[in-house]
Amino acid sequence: MRIDIKSYINDKDLSIYVIAKKSGYGYTTLHKSFNKTQTSATSINLRDIEALAKAQDVEMWRVLKELETKYLD
Residue 44: burial class (beta carbons within 10 Å; 0-12, 13-18, 19+)? buried
Q: Using the predicted structure, report yes or no on whether residue 22 has a pLDDT greater than 70.
A: yes
User: Per-residue confidence at 54, pLDDT binned at 50, 70, 90?
Assistant: very high
Beta bridge partners of 72: 3
Beta-carbon contacts of 20 under 8 Å, excluding residues fewer than 6 positions away, are 26, 27, 29, 30, 51
User: Per-residue confidence at 41, pLDDT binned at 50, 70, 90?
Assistant: low
Q: Using the predicted structure, report yes or no on whether residue 19 has a pLDDT greater than 80.
A: yes
Q: Using the predicted structure, report yes or no on whether residue 9 has a pLDDT greater than 80.
A: yes
pLDDT of residue 44: 81
